[in-house]
Amino acid sequence: MTSRYQVCNCNRTMPLDAKAGAALGTALGVGALPVATALCRQEVGTFLTGIDGVDQVVVACTQERALFAELAQTRGTVAPLRFVNIRETGGWGRDAARAVPKIAALLAAAALPDPEPVPTVDYDSGGQVLIIGPAATALPWAARLERQLEVSVLLTDATPVPGAEEAAAMLEERSFPAFSGKAIAVAGWLGAFDVTWQQANPIDLEACTRCNACITACPEGAIDLRYQIDLDKCNSTRACVVACGAIGAIDFMRQATERSGRFDLVFDLSAQPIVTHHQRPQGYFAPGADPARQAGDALELAQMVGRFEKPKFFIYKEKLCAHGRNGKPGCNACIDVCSAGAIASAGDQIRVNPNLCAGCGACTTVCPSGALAYAYPRVPDQGLKIRTMLSTYAGAGGTLPALLLYGREHGSALIDRLGRQAQARGVLHGVPARVMPIEMHHAASTGIDVWLAAIACGAANVAVLVGSDEAPQYVSALEEQMAIAQTILAGLGYSGTHLQLLQADTPAQLDAALRRVQPGAVVTQPARFNGLPDKRGTLDMALGHLLQHAPRPEQTPAPEVIALPAGAPYGSVTVNQSSCTLCMSCVGACPESALMDNADAPQLRFVEKNCVQCGLCEVTCPENAITLTPRLLLTDVARQARVINEARPHHCIVCQKPFGTVQMIDTMLAKLSQHGAFAGNLDRIKMCGDCRVVDMMANKQETRATDPTTTDLKRGR
């Protein structure tokens, strides 16, 4: 694919000149690049002539994206435009003069082809919105939104509050359905919210005609224009019931009757959100008491009518899942980390609801087996981008590269603000020249396979940026996974800290965090692989390369084993041979074929490379004979099936055919010696199945209930 790069120094605010353009062109393999000064203004003609005759155009500016797109459309060009920000990410800041290798890497990454499209998840919304909250807040918003949406209201205040009665005057017009209730539950997503509540107040707002007869009749003044009974004031005279008469809107026998409804959208104005997940479902808005947030959410609500789609962010391979076997619990890592409530147990597998999935990818980060894989983008696509950036950076003369992975929603604006403040005020440093930002859908969507592959491809650091409002379980998961990866790197001989989790909400905080990222040791020869769809496959390639090209002193032997912290996806299985009876329950429970039997001998074998430390063998073992040990074995032994327990086979005392083990037969003899079915016939336990049947049939002295020739049966007893 032929790409043309259009670079501008933004009115000379970036140290990009003809020399820098030549260096960029050399690194990109396209010859010297002309550097414009005002590509979006006086030199717009240069832009227009540069978009003809090529397959695509990479424009090194995102601020004027809309203008360039409009100009290209006016010219009628068919070459797609790709935009990349080199200004805030590299051209502005104290390191800008040394940022040419990074800018070359950013341009090269922007020129890569788009990843293959992923399946999508569809939503259909007809605009039916349920507004939940106290009357003083919910009813005014209902009046504003009913012109654009099909509004229903669920009132939650049982006692009068300031402004409630004035707001309740809107109920008199009956322009939208109104309910009241408590114990509200919301489940679902955009276009399919199921809401249940308890109709606890005696007055049913939908049956009420607003005739005010109950208000006039109530001797305690317990009913106001909200048309709800203040049960703290009510003395149960039932005068209101008599006044309501045939309308039948008042029923004191209504004891928390459950009601329900389905809605496309939910506008939750409760003081505390009803849906407590950190990642709330699309179509559910909970702005709390903040008027500004309420107004912003209301504007967004009004736009959510029609058909919508989003990517299906994950791929689930149930055959690799170590969640459970035979009803025994195993790995719950994905369920525990999901902050959207999108993952649930479904027997021995899990169930992921694509409508609830928010695309954070944390489940794929913590999945030890790769049963859950991130698809937006896939690991091979992410790996291609990382390798392209690292190789281009190195080709342009850059050293000790660092990658800054950040989520689109939190990181993009923060990095832009850092770059602008570094250029305008000069107080902050800006993004360092060796730090290459990489935008992702969410910061938690990469794990040790991507990080270690990046280190294998030459990165000195991989940093992940999150904000203080990130889901706590995501932060914990990233820290735990980084600790595992850092332990592996240190054990392989890579000095320094290679993986960092940066938490920042302001440009100053990000600036300080980036200053603390110090380069770790790098591989002696960068790898050239992109990664595989299989997580374990990518890890195997990365670990093999890191081991082979570790910066160890000469004559220093490579390590054979690295002890890992709990929760690591690698490890060994130890069997207490005195307890193990070789029942092979663990073999049947192992989802990764790490534990195997031997068809020719009573042996339990183990392939350590396959073990994901899910614990299913441990919980399945009836003798509690199995212990897990997290570690990384680096020798060829890890790939070989080794015997971890074996026993002498027991031979049938009649035909000498081997079956079972001596230990198993001895255990059975001890347990069944007093059993009525075997007492006096213990030798049968020592026989194979065939010989046992022959012996039973040949023993004429035994009386069997199924024998029609017995004396009792002949006599009709």
What are the pLDDT digits (tens) for 222-237?
998 888 898 889 998 9
Q: How far apart are CA 122 and CA 127, in angstroms?
A: 15
320-353: buried (b, 16+ CB within 10 Å) or exposed (e) per residue?
A: bbbbbbeebebbbbbbebbbbbbbeeeebbbebb
Three-class SS of residue 660?
strand
Q: What is the pLDDT of residue 664?
A: 77
- Model pTM? 0.88
What's the sign of the alpha-carbon dihedral 382, 387, 392, 398? positive
Helix and strand numbers, DSSP H then E, in the chain: 22, 32
What is the residue type of 172?
E
Q: What is the pLDDT of residue 159?
A: 59
430-457: buried (b, 16+ CB within 10 Å) or exposed (e) per residue?
A: bbbbbbbbbebbbbbbbbbbbbbbbbbb
Q: What is the pLDDT of residue 185?
A: 97
Q: What is the pLDDT of residue 255?
A: 66
8 A C-beta contact, residue 522 and residue 551: yes
Low-confidence ranges of the chain (pLDDT < 50): 703-717
At residue 447, what are phi and psi to the nearest 5 degrees? -135, -160
190-214: buried (b, 16+ CB within 10 Å) or exposed (e) per residue?
A: bbbbebebbbbbbbbbeebebeebb
| Helical residues (DSSP H) of 549-610, grouped into ranges | 585-589
Q: What is the pLDDT of residue 710?
A: 42
| Helical residues (DSSP H) of 379-531, grouped into ranges | 379-395, 408-424, 448-456, 472-492, 507-515
Q: What is the pLDDT of residue 512?
A: 98
Structure tokens that stand for 501 in this block: 């989790």
* Residue among 377, 368, 575 at smallest CA distance from 481: 368
Long-range contacts of 50-53 (CB under 8 A, 24+ apart): 50/4, 50/6, 51/4, 51/75, 51/77, 51/79, 51/81, 52/77, 52/79
Q: How far apart are CA 136 and CA 79, in angstroms?
A: 55
Across all residues in the chain, what is the average pLDDT?
92
Q: What is the pLDDT of residue 708?
A: 46
Q: How far apart are CA 459 and CA 461, in angstroms?
A: 6
Structure tokens that stand for 303 in this block: 């736009």
Q: What is the pLDDT of residue 79?
A: 84
Q: What is the pLDDT of residue 660?
A: 75
pLDDT tens string 538-565: 999 999 999 999 998 887 899 999 999 9
